Amino acid sequence: MPKKSVSDVVVKGRRVLVRVDFNVPQDDAGEITDDTRIQAALPTINHLVRNGAKVILMSHLGRPKGERKPEFSLAPVAKRLGELTDAQVHFADDCVGETATAAVNHCGYGEVVLLENVRFYKEETDNDPEFAKKLAEHGDVFVNDAFGTAHRAHSSTAGVASYVDEAVAGFLIQKELKFLVEELESPKKPFVVVMGGAKVSDKIAILERLMEKADSFIIGGAMANTFRFAQGYDIGKSFAQRDDEAVALAKGILKTAEEKNIPFLLPADTRHTEKFEDDAPTECTALWAEGGSVPADREGIDIGDKAIEEFSAELSKAGTIIWNGPMGVFEKRGFDIGTKAVGAAIAANDNALKIVGGGDSVTAANQFGFGEKMDHMSTGGGASLELLEGKELPGIAVLDDA
Ligand code: ADP
Ligand code: MG
């Protein structure tokens, strides 16, 4: 169901309460090390400012677990936001109560006030209705633009919507829905799904759902080890899910793909190592189909050279690509060859709509310099996975229908 957006409501002269995701990484000295999440909220904030709203922002930062802890203060974020927008940015030392109300009253129309961390109250994550009501008192309109927490039913992401006149989606959430839901309803063919990462069980719901739409699958990462194990191959000490349940899930997926006649490309060979550390020597197995195996004292940490070649060829033909999960242990030097190569193959396909979802996949794409080439890099890890699974996210379900 399409949701009303921030561009569908009159905001001039109104108090607009916006849930943003300002959960930014900081170093030990409290310096913000990456302000991507602040940048991602700017289109909504600037739209509201330009249109004469009083903009009241709320967010969480870290896990203060319901206690007021200075290291989780949003004050440094308010400062950075002030540098990134032309608008006047105020900071309120609390998110509810007298201090917050005074700060909201003091804030002018066309100005912004950021409230202190909502998770300084344990009521926030309990989705306590009284706390939600207190937050809602600050605004007439609620805008949810915190995609990264939209899969959580908390007071500031979901509960608050019941106590305002209108509840709508911000531009960031709208963009995420466009790419992770709408564009995938009838994707330009061939639709190639690239899956990797740690566990088959984490991704099983996505695999099953995308089976209905995808023209082919490319599988890498530790996930591929689980599939090879399920097929009865020797995978040595490779990280894999070897329990009966995971093996049954993997076998089930392989069977469905076969029945539906959907190419399901597992890595033809696997890169393995003896030592799990930066720059450790690695080598590729023989092709699995020709008797390949990972020796008993070694572990598969990446896709092999032949796999890279086959995956790249498949990706060059795609009309739509969704990439979720790295091909190997890309965090370690020398174990990142497959992830880099697959990222490069995706980036090189100028005809395809290219979408990256999942926290580590986005990190990898940025780290290797492919971010700019992608049509969409999701800003939510867990939230993007749940959307791809076809779930309705609580922070989006509560918004007014368009
Ligand atoms: P995403 O966050 O993109 O959804 P996941 O969280 O599922 O991805 O998986 C990412 C993790 O998978 C990375 O930390 C990476 O090191 C790990 N991984 C990938 N391939 C392997 C492998 N062969 N062995 C062990 N870990 C792997
Ligand atoms: Mg992850």
Confidence of residue 358 (pLDDT cuts 50, 70, 90): confident
The predicted-structure confidence for 17-38, as pLDDT tens digits, reads as follows: 999 999 999 998 889 999 989 9
- The string of pLDDT tens digits covering residues 384-400 is 999 999 999 999 999 99
Q: Does the structure show a pLDDT above 90 at 347?
A: yes
**8-state DSSP, 398:** T
Q: Is the pTM of this model over 0.95?
A: no
Tokens describing residue 397: 């379900």
Write out the E strands in 293-358: 299-303, 320-324, 353-356
Q: Can you give the pLDDT at residue 380?
A: 86
- pLDDT for res 2: 87
Task: Please identify, by atom number, the ligand 1 atom nearest to the C-alpha of residue 301.
Answer: 23
% of the chain beyond a pLDDT of 90: 96
Ligand that comes closest to the CA of residue 362 = 1
Per DSSP, helices labelled H in 51-144 are: 75-84, 97-106, 122-125, 129-136
What distance lies between CA 210 and its chain's CA centroid?
17
Task: Report how far ligand 1's centroid is from the alpha carbon of 382 (Å).
Answer: 14
Q: What is the pLDDT of residue 359?
A: 86
340 is catalytic: no
DSSP state of 358: S
Ligand 1, residues 225, 228, 329: which to mutate, most atoms within 8 A of Cβ?
329
Question: Which residue bears the tokens 């003091």?
Answer: 106
According to the model, what pLDDT value does residue 165 have?
95
Q: From the CA of 362, give the closest atom in ligand 1.
A: 3
pLDDT above 80 (res 1): no
**Pairwise CA distance, residues 318 & 327, whole Å:** 18
